[in-house]
Amino acid sequence: MKSELCIGLIGSKFMGRAHSNAWKKAGLFFELPLQPVLQVVCAREQNSLHEFAAQWGWQQIETDWKKVVSSPHVDVVDIALPQHLHYEVALAAAREGKHIFCEKPLAMNTTQAEEMLHVCEQNKVVHYLNHNYRRTPAIAFARRLIDDGKLGRIFHWRSAYQQDWIVDPAFPLTWQLRAETAQAGPQWDLNSHAVDLAHYLVGPITKVSGLTAQFVAERPLADEASSGNLHANALGEAMGKVTVEDAALMMVQFKNGAVGSFEATRFATGRKNALTFEIYGSKGSLKFDLERMNELQFFSSDDGEGCQGFRTIQTTEASHPYAASWWPPGHIIGYEHSFVHAAVDFIRAVASGSSIEPNFASGVQILKVLEAGLESALTQKQVVL
C-alpha cells in the first residue's frame, strides 16, 4: 500500500517558500495517512534553484514545468506561481491525473477557471485552491460558532484588506501592477481572500456594486530579476503605465439576505497585511484581525445583563481547530501555520479520495464576484449574479 505522496512544486519565490515549509512540517506535527515527499522543485533560474532545493530539502530540480507535470514520480503538482500562469499548468497537470494544490487567485477570468474545474472533474483529481486564511484556528472556530447558531441570523459582513507597499510612486512596475499578468489589482489579489472568507462564513453573494480608484498612473519599469516579496528595483528612468486599480470597494447582498462591504487597497499607509472582518447577527457578533491572528472577538447576547461585551478568545486551546497539534494553550502560532494546515487537509483528502474546500469550484464563484465588482465599477451599475 502506498505510504508516500510525492510533491512537484512549481515556483520558488514567496509562495514556494511557504509551501515548502508546509510540506516539511505537515508530517512532523500531524498524523498523516501519507507522508509528503519533496520530490522536485521547478523554476526558471537554475543557479538560485540549486540553493533553494538544498535549503528546503527538495530531492531534484527542474527548469521545465512540463517535465514535472508528466513525471511518473510526481503525485501532486503544487502551483506556486503568479495567476496568469495557473491555467496552462493546471490543465496539463489534471490531464496527467495529478492532484493539484494551487495558489490563489485561481485564474485570470471565470472562463479559464471553469475549464480548469471541468478538466479536474473529468480526470477525477483532487483540486485545492489555497485560500489559507480559512485554516487559521480563529477563523475555523468562527465558522464553528456560526454553525452552532451562536450568531443567530446574520445581518452584516464588513471586511477590509489593507497594505501599503506601493504608496511610493517610485515603486517599480512589477507584474502585480500590469493587467496582462495580474488581471486586476487589490480587487483580484486581496479581495479574493476576503470574498472566500465571506463565502465560507456567511454564504453566496448575489448582488454586487463596485468602485475602483487609481492613484499612480505611471511607474518606473521593474527589473524583474530583482523582484521578490513585495519589493523590486527599477531598470532605469523608463516609465510604464499602471494598468490595474490601486484600490477597490464593493457593496454586496448575500443569498441569505445579509449585506456586506469589502475594501481592498495597497495605499493604506502603515498597514502591511491588515485583513479584518466583522460579522453581526441577531444573537451575537464576531471580529477578526489577521495582525492578531490567534484572537477572535466574540459578543453574545446570551450573556447576562450587565455582563455583555466583546470578549477576546485566544484560539490556542486543544479544543480549537488545529491547535492541539502545536503548543500548550497560550503559545501562539503564525502565518506559516495556515499553510501547514492546508497541506495536512489536502493530504487527508487525497488519501481518502474525498474533496476539499476551497477548491476550483469555489474559485469559480470567487472570480464571478470579483469580475462583477470590476464590471460594476466600469458601468456604475449593480451586477446581479
What letter would DSSP give residue 304? P
- What's the confidence (pLDDT) of residue 229? 64
283-302, pLDDT tens digit by residue? Answer: 999 999 999 999 999 999 99
Given a cut of 90, whether residue 167 has pLDDT beyond it is yes
Residue 202, burial from CB neighbour count under 10 angstroms (0-12, 13-18, 19+) = buried
Q: At what angle do helices 191-201 and 137-147 cross, to 10 degrees?
A: 30
CA distances from 204 to 320, 354, 363, 365 (A): 26, 23, 12, 8
In this prediction, residues 222-250 reach a mean pLDDT of: 87
- What's the confidence (pLDDT) of residue 235? 83
In this prediction, residues 354-364 reach a mean pLDDT of: 98
Task: Supply the DSSP string of 170-193, one letter for each residue.
Answer: TS-B-GGG-HHHHSSSHHHHTHHH
In this prediction, residues 27-46 reach a mean pLDDT of: 96
Q: What cell was used for 322?
A: 488545529
- What's the confidence (pLDDT) of residue 233? 87
- Residue in the structure block whose three cell numbers are 489589482: 185
- Confirm whether pTM is higher than 0.95: yes
- What's the confidence (pLDDT) of residue 83? 96
Contact of 262 with 194, CB cutoff 8 Å: yes
Split at pLDDT 50, 70, 90, the class of 227 is low
What are the start-end ranges of the E strands in the chain? 4-10, 35-42, 60-62, 76-79, 99-103, 127-130, 154-162, 205-213, 218-223, 233-241, 247-254, 259-265, 274-281, 284-289, 295-300, 311-314, 383-384
How many angstroms from the chain centroid is the CA of residue 154? 24
The C-alpha atoms of residue 71 and residue 40 are separated, in whole angstroms, by 10
Split at pLDDT 50, 70, 90, the class of 236 is confident
Residue 185, burial from CB neighbour count under 10 angstroms (0-12, 13-18, 19+) = buried
The CATH classification number of 4-133 equals: 3.40.50.720
Domain 134-329+366-379 indexed as CATH 3.20.20.370: no
Delimiting residues of CATH 3.30.360.10 domain(s) in the chain = 134-329+366-379
Split at pLDDT 50, 70, 90, the class of 58 is very high
Mean pLDDT of the chain: 97
Split at pLDDT 50, 70, 90, the class of 226 is low
Delimiting residues of CATH 3.40.50.720 domain(s) in the chain = 4-133
Helix/strand/coil for 362: helix
Split at pLDDT 50, 70, 90, the class of 261 is very high
